[in-house]
Structure 1
Amino acid sequence: MNSNDIQEFISFLTTRFKIEREKFDRSGVYAYTQRLLAYNSNKIEGSTLTEEQTASLFDHGTLPRSNDYYRAKDVEEMNGHFLMFNKMLDTLEEPLSQDLIKQFHYELKSGVFEDRANGYAIGDYKKRPNMIGMYQTVRPENVEAEMQILMDWYQHQSVTISVLSEFHAGYESIHPFQDGNGRTGRLLLFRECLKNTLIPVVIEDANRNEYLEALAECRKEHCTDKLTRLFEKEQAFYFDKCRYFC
């Protein structure tokens, strides 16, 4: 695709997102993107909800009858993701900031009973150290300073998909929140693609292992090539799916 085609596509997306959301349209690209991003991003983190259940929750606010139990946290986080996406649309014209990132996290997590019961900070940076597997992340007392370094670097970049790979890897290595880092990080990725006239990235759960391996390579070898290639593949996936609505 040439730059004009991409610009037209991004203009189409942002226009349709606004119109369809305002009209409560559940048949277009806005609803499709809400369901696609929420399902895959939550599934990567272990959600047990299916694509069909995700769609029913978004479209009707209900879940199909099932002989299995629904995990309350999965439902709460799915609804939170829908709200976080809407918050992203409402603030798309604002510059990216630490405060805005905290607002996204609040939308994602404010309705999650388990996190509140565990005393997790909601809409604020973590208060306890956390890890990614065996990998230590930034300690709570250093998060704000490390996030500011990352933001200062990012704001001086001419944003490309490779720059977004570095930003995403940096964000995930800081792991600023007690929980929900992956989901907020992937929403930021989607948002910054829209803002910078890049085809958005939606990481598919089917590519979860490739995604985690790429992030591990970023941490260990400080190389984002594998992550950038995955993002480019996921851009093609999302564009191909959205052409139906154009």
Structure 2
Amino acid sequence: MASSSDSWMREFSEASRLADDISAMIAERGSFPPSGSDTQRHTSAIRRKITILATRLDSLENLLSKLPKLQPISDKELHKKQDMLSNLRSKSKQMASTLNMSNFANREDLLGQSKKAADEINRIAGLDNHGVVGLQRQIMREQDDGLEKLEETVLSTKHIALAVNEELDLHTRLIDNLDQHVEVTDSRLQRMQKRLAILNKRTKGGCSCMCLLLSVVAIVILAAIVWALIKYL
């Protein structure tokens, strides 16, 4: 019959392999485009595996705290297992930080929820392997629901942005048309001003000639009257 220590080591080995898979997926993410559905699915898969890894680490920590009560174990072996678990948790936090999962203990911040690490341990306390798997599936479903809500929010924001963009395009076209009408009106006004200036000059010139002509006629008439007076008086 396998001892509790052997069972702990088997679960730790599975968690280590899962951490290696996550590391490989993070390295593979560099081959994906910066955005797109494939990139989102790949990132979501990494996040789910990180969550599963966190659950397994919590389970290992819980089992390790109960291990001295289940079987005799030396302090040296217990400290060794604690160091192994601490190193793997540090690696997990580093991978989570790579995906901007800044607080790995509060990994459910992805869904807008915040819980302490002690609460996570209480969730898996007393669960067997089947129960832990069920909890992992529940967490994955919760994350899928959260991602679906996030996708709906993003799509709604996208539609609003498109509508605003269309409205801005319409206003831009209206302003351009107004500018064109203003330019045409200004050009016509300048032409009319030039024509009025020319007409004004011509009118002034014509008035001067007429006045001169009338003056000459008046002088001639006056001279004729004076000559007639001198002749008949």
TM-score by structure 1 length?
0.27
Higher helix share: 2
TM-score by structure 2 length?
0.28
Task: Compare CA radii of gyration and give the structure with the larger one.
Answer: 2
Which one has more relative contact order, counting CA pairs under 8 Å at least 6 apart? 1
